[in-house]
Structure 1
Amino acid sequence: MDLSLDRMRLALDQLHQPASSIPAVQIVGTNGKGSIACLIHHGLMAAGLRSGLTTSPHLVSWCERIRVNDQLISLAGLRHTLEQLQPVVERCGLTPFEQIICCALIHFEAHQPHWLVLEAGLGGRLDATTAHGKRPLIAVASIGMDHREHLGDSLEAIAAEKAAAIGEGAHVISATQKPEVTAVLERRVSEVHGSMQWVDPLDASWSLGLPGNLQKRNAAVAEAALQWMRSSHAVISDQAIRQGFASAHWPGRLQWMRWRGQRLRVDGAHNPPAAIELARERLSWPSAEKRQIWIVAIQAQKQAPEMLQQLLRAQDVAWIVPVPGHRSWNVEQLRQALPLQAQQLKSADTTGTALDQLLAQGWPEAAPVVAGSLYLIGHLLENGTLEAE
């Protein structure tokens, strides 16, 4: 990882600025970016408009990161574009993420959607999506502590990195943030002579295809973004927005899946703010008061002790497994960091091993939850360990 905008700007110049005439809504933040992007994307489609969406990370295929409406870029198309891009990659030294964003913009140039929906990867100030020059609309997801090794050790520093994506005159939409984040966003909007819109979570009259109470906040940001887009596209009606939100689907977030016919939940929560939201969601489950089995894989640079403190109640058990292909926290490290919860922590070499143990002991009354990393969920789907319902 090498955060910089210089390489992307040079590369886009050499590529003759693909998709530069197409307006984009850029989504920045810590948690909920993918959900907001998904909801905006489905709202545009329901209104009969073409939407070009790029997101990260993917679960199974890199092709998931680039789509126009429901059509993902083909594997052959992605490979061809990457091959054609290689001379620019070598001249500019593009990172893998930058290559994918270049591919997305080239693909969007060819298909000419009405709007681009760009989910920022990490940060904002130096994120590859910020190199797109026409971003009149910025949607802000919940901002919290994550990626401290790249963005800074304080909430203010992290918020400043994300807020720096806001360009001159942009309209910015956000649900309620922590006071430190609110101050940073409002200061940045003032500096660039933009406009700031704060929204409340949607009410119970809305039907959302994305499960979880936390989505009411994300959907409020997406709904306000679509209402703002209506000034240039009158077809974005209230009915279309509701229809789009009801049909939205975003895998790996509070999703029911099956393992050998047994039901379990999966969620990509991978930082303390996401763990807090997941713990809140648990309160609304029918099994809220029952013993919860967690199967958790957390990358080594993440705040695993803080996450487990949020998730674990006194009667719960957490199986600690590695994130495939990534340095990860292990049970010994976590027992040292969490002496009061040490007896609640168990270890398994894979998620499958942990699930085998649960089945041998008698499948728990409350469905287990697999969490901690979207990379883990993607791996389990790709190798067939889990099947989406």
Structure 2
Amino acid sequence: MKKQIIKNYEQAVEYLYAVPRFTKKSQMEDTRRFLAALGHPDKDMRIIHVAGTNGKGSVCTYLRSILMEAGYSCGVFTSPHLVECRERFSIDGQMISKESFYAAFMDIYDRLDWESLKKGEGYHPTFFEYLFFMAMLIFRDRKPDFCILETGLGGRLDATNAVEKKELSVITRIGMDHMEYLGDTLEEIAGEKAGIIAEQVPVVYLAEPSEAEAVILGQATKKGAPAHKVSKSDYAYLNFKNKSIDFSYHSRYYDYIRLCLHTIARYQMENASLAIRAVEVLDEGRSITREHITAGISKAFWAGRMEEVAGEFYVDGAHNEDGIRAFLETVISDGWQGSRHLLFSVVKDKAYQSMIAGIAGSGLFDKVSFVQMQGGRALHTEQIVEIWKQYTGSVGTVYLSVEQAVRALLSGRDSKERIYAAGSLYLAGEIKDVLERCAHDQL
């Protein structure tokens, strides 16, 4: 590997995209060693660490929004991004500038052992490790009150778990995903996620599925970490109106709180409740009030999760079995009286057979279309159509590109049709990118 001349943000992103996303590893010595070589930028940070299969980014967003309402500044590192790589780094809800991204990139780049790398030896961070190191430098320089870190994959061996200390760990819903890295059972996957639990550091977790809860509690006991669960009995759906959800949350410190989520996604009640419980454990009712919580939940927005990107056109990042199940539960209860049209695509390394089976079995959609996403990871539409045909006997409509699909769907529908897109966060990102680029056109 030879050192290149990288002049700007665009070239930095191009370089990163050529780096392997993750590697299958059994230890973290290289990650910890490089973080130490950076001077342990994390050493003075108040870190909230979030792991799980689904809902991580949403929990990070609700946490950040509540903390900001209480007057705290927050740095957040999340993944993946939808349109721009720098979305992964935000300070108080604003993604960093291209200049800040490039400066952090070059700081890491210039510290690599290029003499060894040129000989095919030495350590080079993976795509995700590189971004994590950048986040640590950005947050070190900006000094937010809290740093919220979302794991990229798993937890135990995730780069974000290299930090020296944390104030709180949060584990969201655990399901079947990334089995080639994390294991083939819920217990194995939960074991990897629970690897973020640190000695004597409180953990907030979702009390289902039960197989995952048992593993989390076992790890918490082993680490002497106080464990605080969120279960379905802690929150209750109240009402749905004007594309918003009213729900209640009951807690030790705040008793009964009525909250409003400005989304049609019912699954966000679970994620918002996890964030509230995390704030309770973090603050113990000292400085964060009920008003901070209600305002923070109401103002929070997380892109790509039942996001209305155009009139009655919703994109959802559901990309595994649990995600599709939650997506379908939202669709069935969203109050829409007209027809429903689904645009679907998926990547090769997901459980696409069962995802497609779930959609076909739901009977929720009057029309279903399939689209070819960009990139080598995308499952070809021919394979998707073949599976769909097995379950329904029909082939649906096929689009060769996301731009073709978006233009056709938005120009050829009536006011009584609602469009949904699901199956991949990459699909959500491509749709948002197309809409941004074509904003000046008459779609």
Q: Is the 8 A contact 2:372 2:381 kept in 1?
A: no
**From 2, 20, 23, the counterpart of 1:2:** 23
* CA positional deviation for 1:324: 1.6
Q: Which residue of 1 aligns with 2:43?
A: 20
User: 2-side partners of 1:379 and 1:336: how far apart?
Assistant: 24
Q: Which residue of 1 aligns with 2:380?
A: 330
Q: In 2 relative to 1, CA 27–330 (structure 1 residues): closer, same or farther, beyond 3 Å?
A: same
Matched, 1:309 2:342: no
Q: In 2 relative to 1, CA 253–226 (structure 1 residues): closer, same or farther, beyond 3 Å?
A: same
Q: Structure 2: which 5+ residue stretches go unaligned?
A: 1-21, 114-121, 237-246, 248-257
User: 1-side partners of 2:408 and 2:38: how far apart?
Assistant: 53
Of residues 167-176 and 216-225 in structure 1, the stretch that sits farther from structure 2 once superposed is 167-176
Q: Structure 1: which 5+ residue stretches go unaligned?
A: none
User: 2-side partners of 1:328 and 1:190: how far apart?
Assistant: 41
User: 2-side partners of 1:210 and 1:131: how far apart?
Assistant: 34
* CA positional deviation for 1:175: 2.4
Of residues 202-211 and 4-13 in structure 1, the stretch that sits farther from structure 2 once superposed is 202-211
Q: Deviations over 1:302-345 (max 9, x none)?
A: 11121122223446432221232232223432344451224153
User: 1-side partners of 2:24 and 2:201: how far apart?
Assistant: 23
* Structure 1 residue identity aligned to 2:327: L
**From 101, 117, 127, the counterpart of 1:78:** 101
* Structure 1 residue identity aligned to 2:349: Q
Q: Is the 8 A contact 1:331 1:345 kept in 2?
A: no
User: 1-side partners of 2:139 and 2:407: how far apart?
Assistant: 45
Q: In 2 relative to 1, CA 332–25 (structure 1 residues): closer, same or farther, beyond 3 Å?
A: same
* CA positional deviation for 1:141: 0.9
User: What pairs with 1:229-308 in structure 2 (closer than 5 Å)?
Assistant: 229-231=282-284, 234-258=286-310, 263-287=312-336, 291-308=339-356
Q: Is the 8 A contact 1:22 1:116 kept in 2?
A: yes
Q: Which residue of 1 aligns with 2:398?
A: 347
Of residues 198-207 and 103-112 in structure 1, the stretch that sits farther from structure 2 once superposed is 198-207
SS at match of 2:259: coil
User: What pairs with 1:77-156 in structure 2 (closer than 5 Å)?
Assistant: 77-90=100-113, 91-156=122-187
Of residues 294-303 and 345-354 in structure 1, the stretch that sits farther from structure 2 once superposed is 345-354
Higher RCO (CA 8 Å, separation ≥ 6 residues):
1
After TM superposition, the score normalised by the length of structure 1 is 0.92
* CA positional deviation for 1:83: 0.9
Identity of aligned residues (%): 28
Matched, 1:319 2:319: no
Q: Is the 8 A contact 1:101 1:128 kept in 2?
A: yes
* CA positional deviation for 1:120: 0.7
User: 2-side partners of 1:68 and 1:6: how far apart?
Assistant: 29
Q: Deviations over 1:208-266 (max 9, x none)?
A: 245421111111110011111214x93322211221111101111101112xxx53111
Q: In 2 relative to 1, CA 344–304 (structure 1 residues): closer, same or farther, beyond 3 Å?
A: same
C-alpha RMSD over aligned residues: 2.1
* CA positional deviation for 1:40: 0.4
Q: Is the 8 A contact 1:166 1:189 kept in 2?
A: yes
